[in-house]
Amino acid sequence: MNFDEAIKQLQAAQGDPDQLALATIDIVLAGREPGLRAALEAAAIPHWFDEAILAGLIGAEEARRWLEPLTALSMVEAFPLRQGWNVHEASRLALRRHLAATAPDRLRALSGLAADCFVGKEPAQRIERLFHRLVAGPDAEAAEELRELYGDWENEGRHENLQALAGVLDETRRDAPLGKSSRAGVLKLLVLIRWDNLPLPVREDYALAALKLALGLDDGLACFEAHWTLGMVLLARSKRAEAAGQFLAMAGIAQARLAQDADNNDWLRRLSMSYNLNGDLRAAQGDHAGALEHYQAAHAIAERLVDLDPANVLWQRDLSFSHERIGDLLAKQGDRAGVPEHHQAAHAITERLVGLDSANAQWQRDLAVSHGRVGDLLAIQGDRAGALERYQIGLAIAERLADLDPANAQWQRDLAVYHNRIGELLAPQGDRAGALEHYQAGLAIAERLASLDQANTEWQRDLAVSHWKLAGNAEQAGEPAGALAHYRVSVAIMAKLAALDPGHAQWRDDLAWCGEQIRRLEG
Amino acid sequence: MVVFSAADRNHIPVNIAGLRNFLLDDDYADLLAWLREADQPSPQPNTATPAAIAWPAPNESYRWPLADRKPEFELFRQMLAGRQPKRVLLVKAARNSGKTTLLGGLKEYAKTQGLPVAQVDFKGCPAMEDVFEQLRLGLKKSLPGLAAAAKSSPSFIEGLQELADPLVLLFDTYEAASDESRNWLEQRLLHYIDDMPAVVAVVGGQQIPEHGKCAWRNHAIPHELAAIDRPDDWLEYIRLHWPEAETPDTAAQLRFATQAAGGEVGLINALLERFFGPSALASEYKP
């Protein structure tokens, strides 16, 4: 091939990026032995390669022969992190897409071989293996492997691993030819892992697509998970009626399974999940009796499972959540006598779990939350010093977690919650400066989160709460104008939320309360 | 002084990007305050740079080895000479447009100036411990004390704050960075750039940090790399690297080639290496 022929080949690509990349590969490889092209195509399957990986893909002898000329190609670059090389992204993706379109069986075969090259236990190895398994199939097995990996890391609180997994899943979503089960799993997990980073409408699109795929499969678990994911997204979008439909569907699937196999513990646990979610919905509507009924049903299952196997940390954690839900609900109902038993039981479980694995960030967070709840109890009982101590422990844990991952919105939110709680304790003691400092720290976090995603109603309400805390503090300091200004911001936020979902009891009450404060101050 | 709208943030010509800049809508109060200050030189001297920092004199005779990218190189050269008030260069570019090649070129210049360089590539979404591992490896020989401090974020940042001699930090493939890495870079490392007067940082990727809302935004020069679609730039490149390969047809061929490849740096580089590079000269592929 001469230069003019090469230009004609580029012109034939008509500016299409993939065609340009493929044409460039053709030009660079023209006149070279076909084995080099085969080696390049194989090397484009994984995200990186070394001699051993190349050997796994094309055989040891071929790998030895082609490694040097391959790594000298302009579209192959060093990958220092893995002490190997990678095909440059534009060429890698173009080659993969070309294979998917023209030789899908070869892509699957190479992906299967690639999967076998990554057998280590390190997160990067496990993620890369899964990436190839999702393409190579079989579909249902790959989806199950994905579910297991997510489950392991979620239960171990390996947040950073999950973020890395999401990066690869997003690539498979965009570019890989996936089976229905795998695609449903990928979409669902992207929603769950990137919950705080994906805009709500995108989360809804993914969750809806996952549900449609799952409904086309004879796979109750995939459907259950897809209903759950979509329900959570709809709830976050304040589409409570639609969310209720998803949660009922979850319960229906679980009950149908249990009708066939009453002792299936996995499905029992899933049934308890759906009870809890239905309970949450009812609590949000102000139906405390209905919520309690659901929570107690879930609690009975959680207790039964823990009795079966007290060493099962997942079931222990479920039981702790169940105690917390019931305790919170009783507190809302004003049933103070019943609250301590539940919060203390939850706290004991979380302390035990953290004792088992102090590196588990989820359990650490559970413990911080639990300290907060015990602090609330002590505050109600008038033990302000005890409450302050608990809140400060909670704040210290939350600070450690937030420092570990400043991007984790949940952990940032926890920080704001503890700042507000400490402020609430300090203000009545006359330490208004201390209270102000904590309220302002809480407000700064709430403002940051609220600006990240204006559709996130929880974060919007947090912002309103921060403002009314500051309003209260200003009022106590004899600054009614400052208090009014903060209350007005709160009212504006709560009015927007209440308009979004007029049936939301909490938001309706918040709006009414803020309005009352403004009227009172205006005289 | 540059006043621009938020939508143009990444499109300020690189030769004026180092000047004090303001967002048209958001920075009105800052702009007024700045205008009120009497005898304001422009651009601002690097107030964060104590005289003690030994910036090397710019190497005026250095032959920049890449096609085009001269304004970017000049900006970097001024940064390394302590003559540029902003010390964070954010290079955004589409896939295959030569970001990594540019970072490599900047790294080589820094090395010829005798400056230590550490490079982090976010390709493959490395965990934070891998990010620190890359920093440690990069600094091991030149700054062993700082390399040892690159075990955790606080100790590394503290080490950077104490540096009295210039250091270049390069971050590539930013779009692949995990949320943790992004937050570390944006909300930890660059957040303290004001207190690290000896540090020059370059971040490249298909995405770059959203510096507009960050406290360090006035230390940053965002820049979007364009395609290299002027045949003369590529002709100069050939003359620099393979002068003996040029023929009377080369200029015309480059016109067609840059047009067909849309100025995509990766493609044109591959094409030129194939037909003009050393392997081409040794074979029948010579144009």
Q: Which ipTM value was assigned to this complex?
A: 0.77
Q: Is it the case that residue B12 has pLDDT exceeding 80?
A: no
pLDDT band at residue B15, thresholds of 50, 70 and 90? low
CB contact under 8 A, B274 and A27: yes
Q: Is it the case that residue B34 has pLDDT exceeding 60?
A: no
Q: Is it the case that residue B18 has pLDDT exceeding 80?
A: no
Q: Could you give phi then psi for residue A87, rounded to 5 degrees?
A: -75, 130
The shortest CB-CB distance from B260 to any of A11, A21, A168 is to A11
CB contact under 8 A, A168 and B125: yes
Query: Where is B2: in which H helix or E strand?
Result: strand B2-4
How many angstroms separate the CA atoms of A508 and A464, rounded?
13
pLDDT band at residue B6, thresholds of 50, 70 and 90? low
The shortest CB-CB distance from A7 to any of B124, B176, B256 is to B256
From the CA of B250, how many Å to the nearest CA of chain A? 10
Give contacts of B99 with chain A, Cβ < 8 Å: none
Give chain A's length: 523
Per-residue model confidence (pLDDT) at position A458: 87
The shortest CB-CB distance from B257 to any of A7, A80, A160 is to A7
From the CA of B127, how many Å to the nearest CA of chain A? 7
CB contact under 8 A, B285 and A77: no
Per-residue model confidence (pLDDT) at position B8: 63
Question: What b/e readout covers B45-63, taking b as 16+ CB neighbours within 10 angstroms?
Answer: ebebbeeebebeebeeeee
How many angstroms separate the CA atoms of A67 and A60, rounded?
10
pLDDT band at residue A347, thresholds of 50, 70 and 90? very high
pLDDT band at residue B225, thresholds of 50, 70 and 90? very high
Per-residue model confidence (pLDDT) at position B4: 60
pLDDT band at residue A81, thresholds of 50, 70 and 90? confident
Q: Please enumerate in sequence order all residues whose Cβ is within 8 A of that of A499, keeping only pairs 6 or more positions apart, or say none.
A: none
Per-residue model confidence (pLDDT) at position A3: 86
CB contact under 8 A, B124 and A124: yes
Nearest to B93 by CA among B267, B264, B270, B268: B264
How many angstroms separate the CA atoms of A453 and A462, rounded?
13
CB contact under 8 A, A28 and B253: no
In this prediction, residues B113-130 reach a mean pLDDT of 91
Q: Is it the case that residue A301 has pLDDT exceeding 60?
A: yes
Q: pLDDT for B78-99, tens place per residue?
A: 999 999 989 999 999 998 889 9
Q: Are strands B167-172 and B117-121 parallel, antiparallel or unpaired?
A: parallel
How many angstroms separate the CA atoms of A204 and A231, rounded?
9
CB contact under 8 A, A407 and B180: yes
pLDDT averaged over chain A?
92
Of residues A333 and A107, the one with the higher pLDDT is: A107
DSSP annotation of B58 reads P
The shortest CB-CB distance from A74 to any of B124, B182, B273 is to B273
3-class secondary structure, B125: coil
Q: Please enumerate in sequence order all residues whose Cβ is within 8 A of that of A147, keeping only pairs 6 or more positions apart, or say none.
A: A185, A225
In this prediction, residues B40-48 reach a mean pLDDT of 45
3-class secondary structure, A413: helix
User: Closest residue of A to B285, CA-based?
Assistant: A2
User: Closest residue of A to B184, CA-based?
Assistant: A406
How many angstroms separate the CA atoms of B107 and B232, rounded?
25
CB contact under 8 A, B266 and A27: no
Q: How far apart are the first and last CA of chain A?
A: 89
Q: pLDDT for A195-222, tens place per residue?
A: 878 888 999 999 999 999 999 998 899 9
Give contacts of A20 with chain B, Cβ < 8 Å: 261-262, 264, 267
In this prediction, residues A267-277 reach a mean pLDDT of 95
From the CA of B268, how many Å to the nearest CA of chain A? 9
The shortest CB-CB distance from A82 to any of B124, B261, B275 is to B124
Per-residue model confidence (pLDDT) at position B282: 45
Q: Is it the case that residue B14 has pLDDT exceeding 90?
A: no
Q: Is it the case that residue B48 has pLDDT exceeding 60?
A: no
Q: Is it the case that residue A223 has pLDDT exceeding 90?
A: yes
Q: Are A272 and A224 in contact (CB under 8 A)?
A: no
Distance of CA A44 to the CA centre of its chain: 30
Give contacts of A411 with chain B, Cβ < 8 Å: none
Highest mean pLDDT among A97-106, B24-33, B43-52 belongs to: A97-106
DSSP annotation of B45 reads P
The shortest CB-CB distance from B270 to any of A24, A89, A197 is to A24
**Best B95, B96, B101 residue to mutate vs chain A (most A CBs within 10 Å):** B96
Per-residue model confidence (pLDDT) at position A333: 85
**Best A18, A24, A130 residue to mutate vs chain B (most B CBs within 10 Å):** A24
From the CA of A15, how many Å to the nearest CA of chain B? 7
Lowest mean pLDDT among A39-53, B35-49, B183-197, B230-244: B35-49
Give contacts of B179 with chain A, Cβ < 8 Å: 163, 197, 405, 407-408
Nearest to A392 by CA among A419, A365, A367: A419
Q: Is it the case that residue B285 has pLDDT exceeding 50?
A: no
Distance of CA A511 to the CA centre of its chain: 30
How many angstroms separate the CA atoms of A273 and B118, rounded?
49
Q: Are B131 and B120 in contact (CB under 8 A)?
A: yes
Query: Where is A201: in which H helix or E strand?
Result: helix A200-215
3-class secondary structure, B259: helix
Strand partners, B117: B168
How many angstroms separate the CA atoms of A95 and B237, rounded?
29
Q: Are strands B220-224 and B199-205 parallel, antiparallel or unpaired?
A: unpaired
Lowest mean pLDDT among A12-26, A330-344, B158-172, B227-241: A330-344
Q: How many CB pairs under 8 A join A and B?
A: 112
User: Closest residue of B to A77, CA-based?
Assistant: B100
Query: Where is A283: in which H helix or E strand?
Result: helix A265-284
CB contact under 8 A, B121 and A81: yes
In this prediction, residues A15-43 reach a mean pLDDT of 93
Q: Output the six-digit token pair for A57.
A: 């893909």
From the CA of B287, how many Å to the nearest CA of chain A? 5
Query: Where is A386: in which H helix or E strand?
Result: helix A384-404
The shortest CB-CB distance from A20 to any of B134, B182, B267 is to B267
Q: Is it the case that residue A440 has pLDDT exceeding 50?
A: yes
Q: pLDDT for A87-120, tens place per residue?
A: 999 999 999 999 999 999 999 999 999 999 999 9
Lowest mean pLDDT among A122-136, A405-419, B253-267: A405-419
CB contact under 8 A, B273 and A48: no
In this prediction, residues A296-323 reach a mean pLDDT of 95
Q: pLDDT for A468-523, tens place per residue?
A: 999 999 998 899 999 999 999 999 999 999 988 887 888 889 999 999 999 999 88
CB contact under 8 A, B183 and A48: no
Q: Output the six-digit token pair for A267.
A: 């499905």
Per-residue model confidence (pLDDT) at position A464: 95
From the CA of B178, how many Å to the nearest CA of chain A? 6
How many angstroms separate the CA atoms of A139 and A420, rounded?
48
Q: Is it the case that residue B287 has pLDDT exceeding 70?
A: no
Using a cut of 0.80, tell me whether the model's pTM lies above it.
Answer: no
Per-residue model confidence (pLDDT) at position B31: 59
User: Closest residue of B to A13, CA-based?
Assistant: B260
Could you write out the DSSP letters of every residue in B178-228?
Answer: -HHHHHIIIIIIGGGGGG-TTEEEEEEESS---GGGSTTGGGEEEEEPPP-
Percent of chain B with pLDDT over 90: 59
Lowest mean pLDDT among A171-185, A422-436, A489-503, B44-58: B44-58
Per-residue model confidence (pLDDT) at position B41: 46
CB contact under 8 A, B267 and A31: no
Q: Please enumerate in sequence order all residues whose Cβ is within 8 A of that of B124, keeping only pairs 6 or more positions apart, or say none.
A: A47, A48, A79, A81, A82, A124, B176
User: Closest residue of B to A19, CA-based?
Assistant: B261
The shortest CB-CB distance from B187 to any of A28, A89, A406 is to A406
Per-residue model confidence (pLDDT) at position A156: 81
Per-residue model confidence (pLDDT) at position A91: 94
How many angstroms separate the CA atoms of A425 and A439, rounded?
11
